[in-house]
Amino acid sequence: MNHRPAERTAQKTVVNVVHHHYALKKSGTYDDGEKPDRGLCMIIYGTKGKSIHVADGDFFCPRCNSEQDYKHFQVKNYFTLYFIPVFPIGKGEDYLECGGCKQAWSQDILHYDPVAEMEESIANYQRLAVLFLLDVGRCTSSTLSSLKDVLDELFEIDVEKSDIANDVKMAQSASPEIKKFFKAETQELDVEGKVLLIQILKQSLESEGPLHNSEQRRIIELGKVTGLRAKQIQPVLDA
Ligand SMILES: [Zn+2]
């Protein structure tokens, strides 16, 4: 989603260098013993992108985390000779530049809905936590209610208890392989997001007292599946 078109910085410039040696004397029998003069002609050609500002608008910039103005740029590729744009040879990908942070975004960013994105992310944490509680045999009304409290406090929302109950039913009927599920569903999380998941797992269990060694080991195991290292997981468990 987030990319900076190479055209903008002209990094995409393809340079083809043609060394073309030719004799200056066209008719050369060289009988006079004179060697033909040789010249070196170097032709440099390639393509270069030019950005044209074509429109303006407002959007939600995930980097600024707020509404911002944007400039819509159209990229046109030019055939270049000696790095001088000669004629247009087609269109590159359009992009939007944030007026706040100057980040270039694909036009898809206009469909980005921060609220929906956040809700989906919370629902994902919830599913993973429910699956974990079932896995360690601690899916009780007390741990489920503490899962709700943890999510409510972390994200400043009010999770529906029926939503959590629904996740329990789904997990029980589908019984997905927990490691595969953790790996697949945490791919888009950064380290911070993964550490947060560890925190949610731990705090949901703590309502019934300190974690057993076997539960700690399971959290470390699952954390590693998401790509975290033991030294990133342990401080959360020790906290
Ligand atoms: Zn921005």
Do 104 and 3 contact (CB within 8 A), yes or no? yes
**Which is nearest to 197 in space by CA: 129, 119, 121?**
129
**Which is nearest to 123 in space by CA: 135, 131, 112?**
131
How far, in Å, from the CA of 102 to the mean position of ligand 1?
Answer: 6
Looking at residue 233, its pLDDT comes to 96
Looking at residue 231, its pLDDT comes to 95
Looking at residue 237, its pLDDT comes to 94
How far, in Å, from the CA of 62 to the mean position of ligand 1?
Answer: 7
Burial class (CB in 10 A: 0-12, 13-18, 19+), 90: exposed
Question: What predicted TM-score, i.e. pTM, was given to this entire model?
Answer: 0.64
What mean pLDDT value characterizes the chain? 80
Q: How many helices (H) and strands (E) does the chain have?
A: 7, 6
How far, in Å, from the CA of 168 to the mean position of ligand 1?
Answer: 39
Q: How confident is the model at residue 125 (pLDDT cuts 50, 70, 90)?
A: very high
Q: Kindly report which listed range (14-28, 123-137, 185-199) carries the lowest average pLDDT score.
A: 14-28
The conformational region for residue 65 under phi > 0 = left, psi -120 to 50 = alpha, else beta, is left
How far, in Å, from the CA of 212 to the mean position of ligand 1?
Answer: 45
Q: What is the CATH number of domain 114-238?
A: 1.10.3680
**Which of 94-103, 104-113, 141-150 has the largest mean confidence?**
141-150
Looking at residue 177, its pLDDT comes to 92
Looking at residue 91, its pLDDT comes to 72
What pLDDT digit, counting tens, does each position of 187-210 carry? 989 999 999 999 999 999 998 888
Half-sphere exposure of residue 152: CA atoms within 13 angstroms, side-chain side: 13
Nearest-10 crossing angle of helices 161-174, 114-135? 60
What residues have a C-beta under 5 A from ligand 1, the ion?
61, 63-64, 98, 100-101
How far, in Å, from the CA of 167 to the mean position of ligand 1?
Answer: 35
How far, in Å, from the CA of 99 to the mean position of ligand 1?
Answer: 6
Do 67 and 100 contact (CB within 8 A), yes or no? no
How far, in Å, from the CA of 55 to the mean position of ligand 1?
Answer: 17
Which string of b and e fits 154-191 if b means at least 16 CB within 10 Å? eeeeebeeeebeebbeebeeeeeebeebbeebbeebee
Looking at residue 6, its pLDDT comes to 37
How far, in Å, from the CA of 59 to the mean position of ligand 1?
Answer: 9
The residue with greater pLDDT, 35 or 219, is: 219
**Which is nearest to 96 in space by CA: 125, 127, 57, 151?**
57
How far, in Å, from the CA of 184 to the mean position of ligand 1?
Answer: 29
Looking at residue 80, its pLDDT comes to 73
Q: Where are the domains of the chain?
A: 6-111, 114-238
